[in-house]
Structure 1
Amino acid sequence: MVKRVRLDPIAQVSEIATNSNLLSVLLQEDLNVLKECGGRGLCATCHVYVKEGMESLSGLTKREQRTLEVITTCKPNSRLACQARVLGEGVVVELPAGMYVNAFKDIEALVGRRAEQPLLHPVTGITLVQEGKLITRSVLESVKGLDFDIQQMLAQSSQEF
């Protein structure tokens, strides 16, 4: 059977097969989701907020709970899109505000501009630069250690589980 999921704030309604995950909805709508761990619930790059219909989704797994615990922008209605399967109707999902960056060079290219939205660390979700703040060379110095090997971090994370 097909279920409908509404994506906010774009008010897009998408149809997916019952028991498909929310990530498939996001990808179906060509939304830019990093999904660095390939949908294994380890990286938190597909973190979303469920505005309505939490009871229409599969329950949280221990892995998902552990991953959500390290996200600074986590709320009681947070889910990982790769882990939340749609079982019923009435699901409304909101993507967190923010732009994910993968490396120091992604921020370096923005020097001299104001952040149009918060710049977030791709794994931890920590705000690197707040919305409206000027991205300066001193901001670059504070995040200079951002470069990392995402595959190595994911391998370490999966060993902890």
Structure 2
Amino acid sequence: MPQLIFLPHAEHCPEGAVLEANEGETVLDAALRHGIDIEHACEKSCACTTCHVVIREGFESLESSDELEDDMLDKAWGLEPTSRLSCQAVVSDSDLVIEIPRYTINQVSEGH
């Protein structure tokens, strides 16, 4: 079972986290299942960038992003070559090291 290793993030996981994911589930779904509340303002429909993450290790194990995801990512704060929308990044059989960016372009966070 692949592991998702989240680097420390002051709000979402201050100590960092290592969790097990199921092959075929998205990074976002695995994170939410384990209590890491990554924002997802569009309810996982690839219509915003609030679930943007940077894959620090294991990026090559993910299927390529499609054109819609690429268009959304162009709007993300802190875009990097290994950026993905966590609602679209499907876990394979490899471990991933993931960084949740410090900021999002979400104007309103319903959870606050």
* Structure 2 unaligned blocks of 5 or more: 9-14
> Greater share of helix residues, 1 or 2?
1
Q: Compute the displacement of 1:29 (Å).
A: 2.5
Tell me what 2:75 maps to.
70
After superposition, the C-alpha distances for 1:86-106 in whole angstroms (9 at most, x for unaligned) are 1121311011113xxxxxxxx
* Structure 1 unaligned blocks of 5 or more: 99-119, 123-145, 148-161
After superposition, the C-alpha distances for 1:20-52 in whole angstroms (9 at most, x for unaligned) are 100012202322322111111111110001000
Tell me what 1:88 maps to.
93
Structure 1: which amino acid aligns with 2:63?
A: S
Rounded to whole Å, the distance in 2 between the matches of 1:32 and 1:4 is 17
Q: Equivalent of 1:21, from 22, 26, 35?
A: 26
Structure 1: which amino acid aligns with 2:30?
A: V
Runs ≥4 in structure 1, deviation > 6 angstroms? Answer: none
Q: Compute the displacement of 1:121 (Å).
A: 2.9
Q: Equivalent of 2:44, from 24, 31, 39?
A: 39
**Retained in 2: the 8 A contact 1:57–1:88?**
no
Question: % of aligned pairs identical?
Answer: 28
Rounded to whole Å, the distance in 2 between the matches of 1:44 and 1:66 is 10
TM-score by structure 2 length? 0.81
Cα 1:67–1:11 shift into 2, 3 Å: same
Number of equivalenced pairs: 102
Alignment of 1:1-161 (within 5 A): 2-9=1-8, 10-98=15-103, 120-122=104-106
Matched residue SS, 2:71: helix
Flag the structure with larger Rg. Answer: 1
Rounded to whole Å, the distance in 1 between the matches of 2:76 and 2:105 is 10
Structure 2: which amino acid aligns with 1:17?
A: N
TM-score by structure 1 length? 0.58
Rounded to whole Å, the distance in 2 between the matches of 1:89 and 1:11 is 19
Matched residue SS, 2:60: helix
Rounded to whole Å, the distance in 2 between the matches of 1:7 and 1:33 is 11
